[in-house]
Amino acid sequence: MDFLPLFHKLQDRRVLVVGGGEVALRKARLLADAGAVLRVVAPVVRDELIVLIGEKGEQLLRGYQLSDLDGVALIIAATDDEALNAQVSADAQARGIPVNVVDAPALCSVIFPAIVDRSPLVVAVTSGGDAPVLARLVRAKIESWIPASYGQLAGLAKKFRARVRTLFPDVQQRRVFWEDVFQGPIAEGVFAGKLNEAEQQLEAKIAGAAPQALGEVYLVGAGPGDPDLLTFRALRLMQQADVVLYDRLVAPPIIELCRRDAERVYVGKQRAAHTLPQDQINHLLVKYAKEGKRVLRLKGGDPFIFGRGGEEIEELAAHGIPFQVVPGITAASGCAAYAGIPLTHRDHAQSVRFVTGHLKDGSCDLPWGELSASGQTLVFYMGLTGLSFICEQLIRHGRAAATPAALVQQGTTQNQRVFTGTLENLPQLVAEHEVHAPTLVIVGEVVKLREKLAWFEGAQQS
Ligand code: SAH
């Protein structure tokens, strides 16, 4: 190990920054975040830096002098004058004051790591100056693993720390207690923004009065297919849940990301050929949660967009079962992006409508007059079966037969196929190319933009 990571307490301590430009500013921001009092020495100092220096700090608008080192806890040399940087480093080291020279590891006695800040939880990563880009990439990975609200969780722990210590003098017991808190429903409560509830639960746990754990349901949007489009929260809950109930629309590579030993229950629905009727799915969710399980209800796209997510959680709410909803990228956003079709465009579409091509009673009775107005993009979900009817109605109610339209099959996946035509010939394209579900239909002038903006290559394009 070339460097020992230590965390430097800088609150109200004076730190010397030599240099007044962009690089100095970047370092000064971090120092100010840590509560340091800045002494900035440079003939010219940027305005943003002056703001950071504030009333407590000092700006010395001149060249560097040895006396600038007096009384400082840390020194940063951030000028573009190499000789000066080397001088500052030598002076600092002669006095035994830690020094960092930006981008010159050989002149440093301390180095800045890449930081993941979830204060009071802070993660620091370094490559010792050998491969800063690698350190930054690792940092980015860690950023995605650690929920943004970890800081709040640590804050909650801090509040209870002394009491828990008294309650469990044994360190082993204490460790088990906290592991349980940080990985269970209390932590999830914090992540979902339910701070008060989480605090009450922790209170109850400490009082030894934790009620028989009631499970929880996570209604999670899995996005349109590409696993990279999952949200951080979706992935975390997928790796935590004890039972997973998933749809036909959820792509297999996404199911693979669920916890290995979780029970997987396929409740897939196909239009008019439901594997499990909706009310049975609702009952299942309630049953598992009452057994104390953490239940993941994984849905294609976004659970609140033609996903019956609302119906499922109504049942949970009626039974007093805690739940949370995690949005996903809906098929319209995913397919449009991967097909190079912006859903709105200042020249072509001032609004976009998401429409179902399949109503609950099996009909397709839609406000055709409104849908036929120009200047809007229409996105039809479940529109394949009724496609001829949809196109006919739009034309009959005034949308031009030559309006551009697209079919996006299995959008965002390696099997994505996109076909473009017009309202008039779209049904024909379905037959010609044997297009099948899941397919999204996009209608409007914006479809034309694909000619210029297509970028993603799926299985077959046209
Ligand atoms: N909740 C989902 C939609 C469920 S309705 C969401 O927000 O995306 C099911 C319909 O979504 C399908 O009939 C199809 O029209 C569309 N769909 C979902 N995923 C799709 C994909 N990857 N490619 C094309 N269409 C998709």
Question: For 300-314, how does the pLDDT look when each residue is reduced to its tens digit (9 = 90+)?
Answer: 999 999 988 888 999
What is the rounded CA–CA span in Å between residue 269 and residue 168?
49
Pick the CATH number of 340-453 from 3.30.950.10, 3.40.630.10, 3.40.50.300, 3.10.310.70: 3.30.950.10
Q: Name the more confident of 458 and 230.
A: 230
Q: Is 247 tagged catalytic?
A: yes
CATH classification (class only), 14-112: alpha beta
pLDDT score recorded for residue 382:
95
Could you check whether the bond before residue 438 is cis, i.e. omega within 30 degrees of 0? yes
Q: Is the pLDDT of residue 270 over 70?
A: no
| pLDDT, tens digit, 9 for 90 and up, residues 396-417 | 999 999 999 999 999 999 999 9
Q: Which of 81, 180, 194, 269 is catalytic?
A: 269
- When mean pLDDT is compared across 43-47, 145-149, 202-206, the lowest value belongs to 145-149
Which contiguous run of DSSP H or E holds residue 251?
Answer: none
Considering 68, 91, 226, 247, which one is annotated as catalytic? 247
For residue 410, the model assigns a pLDDT of: 97
- Whole-number Å distance, alpha carbon 327 to ligand 1 midpoint, is 14
- Give the Cα separation of 329 and 305 in Å (integer): 10
Burial of 184 (0-12, 13-18, 19+ CB in 10 A): middle
Question: What confidence tier does 360 reach under pLDDT thresholds 50, 70, 90?
Answer: low
Distance 414 CA to ligand 1 centre (A): 16
**What are the b/e assignments for 102-127, b being 16+ CB within 10 Å?**
beeeebbbebbbbebebeeeebebbb
* Whether residue 132 has a cis bond before it, omega within 30° of 0: no
pLDDT of residue 188 exceeding 70, the answer is yes
Which residue CA neighbors atom 24 of ligand 1 most closely?
439
Cα 152 → chain centroid = 17
Q: What is the pLDDT of residue 179?
A: 84
Task: Compute the distance from residue 368 Cα to the ligand 1 centre, in Å.
Answer: 22
The CA distance from 186 to 202, in Å, is 7
Q: State both tokens at 356.
A: 């179902």
pLDDT at 298: 96
pLDDT score, position 210: 52
| Ligand 1 mutation pick, 228, 229, 249, 335, max ligand atoms within 8 A of CB | 249
Nearest residue (by CA) to ligand 1, atom 6, is 301
- The set of protein residues with a Cβ atom below 6 angstroms from ligand 1 is 224-225, 249, 299-302, 305-307, 330-331, 335, 381-382, 408, 410-412, 437-440
Q: Which tens digits make up the pLDDT trace of 193-226?
A: 999 999 999 998 888 755 556 789 999 999 999 9
- Residue of 250, 378, 440, 443 with the most ligand 1 atoms within 8 Å of its CB, for mutation: 440
The rounded Å distance from CA 13 to ligand 1 centre is: 57
Per-residue pLDDT, 240 = 87
User: Domain segments of the chain: what residues?
Assistant: 14-112, 150-207, 216-329, 340-453
Q: Provide the residue type at 108 as one letter.
A: C
pLDDT confidence tier of residue 260, bands split at 50, 70 and 90: confident
The mean per-residue pLDDT over the stretch 90-113 comes to 95
Structure tokens at 206: 């400490």
CA of residue 301 to ligand 1 center, whole Å: 6
**Is the CATH number 3.40.1010.10 carried by domain 216-329?**
yes
CA–centroid distance, residue 295 to ligand 1 (Å) = 23
Mean pLDDT computed over every residue of the chain = 92
pLDDT value, residue 347: 94
Q: Which atom of ligand 1 is nearest to the CA of 329?
A: 7
The best mutation among 269, 278, 356, 381 to test binding of ligand 1, ranked by most ligand atoms within 8 Å of the C-beta, falls on 381
Instruction: Give catalytic status of residue 194 as yes or no.
Output: no
Q: For ligand 1, what atom is nearest to the CA of residue 328?
A: 7
